[in-house]
Amino acid sequence: MTDRRDFLKLSALAVAATSGMPGFLARAAAQAGGTKTLVVIQLTGGNDGLNTLIPYSNGAYYAARPTIAIPKKDVLTLTGDLGMHPALKPLMPLWDGGTFAWMENVGYPNPNRSHFASMAIWHTADPAQAQADGWIGRIAQTIGDPFCASNIGASTPQALRAADFSLPSIDGVDSFQLRLPQGLNTPFSQLLESPRSGEAAYLVQATQQMMKNTARVQENVKKYRAGATYPDTKFAGQLRDTARLIAAGVGQRVLYVSLGSFDTHAGQRAEQDELLSDLAGGLAAFHSDLERQGLADDVIVMGFSEFGRRVAENDSAGTDHGQGSVMFALGRGVRGGIHGSSPDLEDLADGDIRYRQDFRGVYASALTRWLGLDARVILNGDFTGPAWVA
Amino acid sequence: MTLTPYTKTLSAEDAAHVLRRTAFGATDAQIRALVGRRAADVAREALAFDQSLAPASPFDPATGATPGAMIQLTRAAWLYELTYGPHPLREKLALMWSNHFVIGTDKVRNQSALAGYLKVLRQHAATPDFTRLALAVAQTPAMLRYLDNDQNRKGKPNENFSRELMELFTTGIGHYTEQDVREGARALSGWTFTGGRGNKNFLEPQVFTFTARQHDAGRKTYLGRSGNLSPEDIVRIAATHPQTAVFVARKLHRAFLADTPDERAVQGSAETWRRTDGDVNAVLTELLSSAEFYASRARIIRSPVEFVVGALRTMGQPKLEPKALLNLTQTAGRMGQLLLQPDNVKGWDGGREWINDSTLLLRLQVAAALTLGKAAPTLDTAPSDLALLGSDRAPAALKSLNARQRTYLALVSPEFQLA
């Protein structure tokens, strides 16, 4: 923890010395000292919830999907009515151990079938899309630490946009380091010093922040010793980097990883099967890694997608954009099981399921019960949801 | 209000500005050649491009041994054209349209489809009729495949293209209903392509075709118009919708004026768009000769491809090994802009979205490779401050460095990274 305190002192100093730093960065980090980490997984493109958590006892499900339904014999049984897609088999031990949760039938009012509008709603936690910053950006503002949340990947999602600054994106822990050619350190610093405005000032600020962030990660990341073998996929590699950052103890409270592309308009079975298999393999390895590192008590994972798909399959053996879907969570801090009731497949809204749980209620539990933050401030309202955080 | 004409003759800084925006950057000599010219003449000349390509490109996608190799060669051939081609503004516009009418090589893996798509973007780059561009793109096998309209059949609608046509290509969100999406899909049924299906046939030509028996010839209502609407009708109605003028004009402003466009200026261009029935050439001519354009320096963060191509054009188009260019296309991808493969159908958001810790690190590495690395092109004379930074007032930090070091640091400065 010494490292952590030194870093905060350091960044407070640096902030004081830099004019034009956004206010929230200067508010320093009295509240940043929590030890719990939330890992958010985004399934990009609209994952088909009905073929993920399958209502296998429901005839209406099979009637709506003659080609792409998961046959009952292939379903991994969870309850008398629900089971998982067979590609999720690596997650069965977690389910059996009571550390895997499904949130049924999650959505938001006046659903939007545009990928981008819907994604923005999940990212801003604002169905009116009046807010441009993201809910995780607002966590960073509340905590007052520019390094308390990071995206693992190449481009920063809107969820991590703060009022004045984007939070870090780390596309590979190993390459996350700055090595300037000999003799250029001083000229480079001088180059950044001259006063600028507009986008030039933004670029200077981003570069200075990057220099601090990379230095911090490289100092600490060697502490990690792998506790599991990860599958050879990009997603699993990103989860491995996530575990490395958590093990490094650099103080990140939220880490964000995306897996795409779930936009299965045609030939859905092949595409979604492969994606779900990638998802499950990566998450199972991540969880055993954390177990062996002794970090499993401190990390939970929460996953979402911007919408589910139409209940009925289309004629290209795929599905078009729908409304609500499932969310999932895992970790020792999670209360395993099914939270909420399954959609009524005979009472549809425009061919889609009618959502019953607002996703902001699911976020609220993570914020209050896991991260110890005031969810009302971050979500701009009082939302209750399932008690999925133990 | 329409845009205000820029009436002064071009200063050195004006000339550097217009070449940064329309040619990815230029050498000192190319910049000085425009000093004293009139903005309207410069704009007209830049837009008067033909379809000639860079001579002697080392990349021929048709020689690709696998679909993956073919796609890599297609990207590298485009980077070659962007860097060495005779018409940078045409290529800049093609790049912009590829980020508007998005397709992706995750699904489009046929050589003729990719070549045909690029050809359409170049031919119509500064089109006098936006509807013709929209129709031409909509009928490319690349688009038909990417948004699944080749699967859209009578009685078996696939809504993917119908939705994105309005949301992303024409009116923008909020100007159509879910019913319009469904009816549009019905009307677009039957548009498909022949040939080139399957992974092994990636070199076989794909040809647009209309299959009448798969077309839903019933009555539809789309964006307030009713009748037995054909696929052409749908594209035409969407492309000529009044909101399309605003939506696409805003894209032009983001490409040429500012990452965060001034909405009043956008409305000005939309007005011109409507008055000229979607004459993109006229809109661009007005935009590139406007006072608003010349007042908008340093308001666009260069994209990864613009960063790489800009560096090379500013350095006087040094010859690079084919392998180096292939690598640069991949590196631009790691910086967030893999040609012909935006992250999703909305395209790259651009602006500050290009910038994060990881992409900044890569920009530093690329700049080092182009100036200091073992395989770096020879730099007999360093580009001038005007060429690199857009003005003659270089920061003091750059003085007393040698030509390579100076060029390296200039390339990673905020001034170079902005256009």
pLDDT, tens digit, 9 for 90 and up, residues A141-195:
888 887 899 999 988 899 999 876 668 899 999 989 998 988 999 999 999 998 9
Separation of alpha carbons B337 and B43, rounded Å: 27
Q: Is B111 helix (H, G, I), strand (E, B) or coil?
A: helix
ipTM above 0.90, yes or no: yes
The pLDDT value given to residue B1: 62
Residue A8's pLDDT band (boundaries 50, 70, 90)? very low
Strands A299-305 and A325-330: antiparallel
Neighbour count for residue B170 (Cβ, 10 Å): 25
**A119: distance to nearest CA of chain B, Å?**
12
Q: Is B54 helix (H, G, I), strand (E, B) or coil?
A: coil
**B398: distance to nearest CA of chain A, Å?**
7
Please tell me which of the candidates B357, B396, B417 has its beta carbon nearest to residue A168.
B357
Please give the residue of chain B at the shortest CA–CA distance from A201: B414
Q: Which of B258, B326, B283 is nearest to B80 (CA)?
A: B326
Residue A367's pLDDT band (boundaries 50, 70, 90)? very high
CB-CB contact of B280 with B354 (8 Å): no
Q: Which of B283, B278, B281 is nearest to B265 (CA)?
A: B283
- Averaged pLDDT for residues A337-365: 95
Separation of alpha carbons B247 and B177, rounded Å: 17
**For residue A261, pLDDT beyond 90:** no
Scanning B228-267 for CB atoms below 8 A from A yields: 259
**For residue A17, pLDDT beyond 50:** no
Separation of alpha carbons B314 and B16, rounded Å: 10
- Most B CBs within 10 Å, among A184, A310, A323, to test the B interface: A184
The β-bridge partners of A38 are A254, A300
Q: CB A187 to CB B397 under 8 A?
A: yes
Scanning B284-313 for CB atoms below 8 A from A yields: 298-301
Q: CB B173 to CB A193 under 8 A?
A: no
Scanning B94-113 for CB atoms below 8 A from A yields: 106
Q: Which of A262, A307, A300 is nearest to A283 (CA)?
A: A300
CB-CB contact of B289 with B40 (8 Å): yes
Phi/psi for B271 (5° steps) reads -60, -45
Please tell me which of the candidates A198, A207, A266 has its beta carbon nearest to residue B148.
A266
Q: CB A200 to CB B156 under 8 A?
A: no
Please tell me which of the candidates B163, B401, B414 has its beta carbon nearest to residue A203.
B414
Per-residue pLDDT for chain B (419 aa), expressed as one digit of tens each? 689 999 999 999 999 999 999 999 999 999 999 999 999 999 999 999 999 999 999 999 999 999 999 999 999 999 999 999 999 999 999 999 999 999 999 999 999 999 999 999 999 999 999 999 999 999 999 999 999 999 999 999 999 999 999 999 999 999 999 999 999 999 999 999 999 998 899 999 999 999 999 999 999 999 999 999 999 999 999 999 999 999 999 999 999 999 999 999 999 999 999 999 999 999 999 999 999 999 999 999 999 999 999 999 999 999 999 999 999 999 999 999 999 999 889 999 999 999 999 999 999 999 999 999 888 988 777 899 999 999 998 888 888 899 999 999 999 999 999 99
Name the one residue in this structure whose structure tokens are 């319009």.
Answer: B180
Please tell me which of the candidates A180, A199, A265 has its beta carbon nearest to residue B299.
A199
**For residue A18, pLDDT beyond 50:** no
How does DSSP assign B155-185, residue by residue? TB---HHHHHIIIIISS-TTSS-HHHHHHHH
* Two structure tokens written together for A165: 């600054």
Scanning B179-218 for CB atoms below 8 A from A yields: none
Separation of alpha carbons B113 and A138, rounded Å: 44
Q: Which of A340, A335, A346, A344 is nearest to A359 (CA)?
A: A340
Kindly give, in sequence order, each residue whose CB lies less than 8 Å from that of residue B349, ignoring residues fewer than 6 positions away. Answer: none
Lowest average pLDDT, out of A23-32, A123-132, A215-224, goes to: A23-32
Q: Tell me what percent of chain B is helix, strand and coil, each rounded to the nearest 5.
A: 55, 5, 40
pTM value? Answer: 0.84
Sign of CA dihedral A115, A117, A119, A121: negative
**For residue A243, pLDDT beyond 50:** yes
Separation of alpha carbons A365 and B163, rounded Å: 35
Q: CB A199 to CB B153 under 8 A?
A: no
Neighbour count for residue A57 (Cβ, 10 Å): 14
Kindly give, in sequence order, each residue whose CB lies less than 8 Å from that of residue B402, ignoring residues fewer than 6 positions away. Answer: none
Q: CB B163 to CB A321 under 8 A?
A: yes
Please give the residue of chain A at the shortest CA–CA distance from B182: A320
**B156: distance to nearest CA of chain A, Å?**
5
Please tell me which of the candidates A45, A114, A169 has its beta carbon nearest to residue B173.
A114
pLDDT in tens, A294-344: 999 999 999 999 999 999 999 999 999 999 999 999 999 999 999 999 999
The pLDDT value given to residue A33: 53
Chain A residues with beta carbon closer than 8 angstroms to that of B346: 115-116
Phi/psi for B169 (5° steps) reads -105, -25
Strands A169-170 and A149-152: parallel
The β-bridge partners of A100 are A330
Chain A residues with beta carbon closer than 8 angstroms to that of B355: 166, 202-203, 206
Looking at residue B4, the DSSP 8-state letter turns out to be P
Name the one residue in this structure whose structure tokens are 């992706």.
Answer: B104
Please tell me which of the candidates B158, B334, B358 has its beta carbon nearest to residue A265.
B158
Q: Which of A368, A101, A49 is nearest to A384 (CA)?
A: A368
Give, in order, the Cα–Cα distances in Å from B276 to each of B5, B72, B171, B253, B286: 18, 39, 17, 18, 12
**For residue A83, pLDDT beyond 60:** yes
The pLDDT value given to residue A165: 66
CB-CB contact of A81 with A60 (8 Å): no
pLDDT in tens, A108-149: 999 999 998 999 999 999 998 888 899 999 999 888 887 899
Where do the structural domains in chain B lie, given as residue ranges? 61-239, 304-417
Chain A residues with beta carbon closer than 8 angstroms to that of B299: 198-199
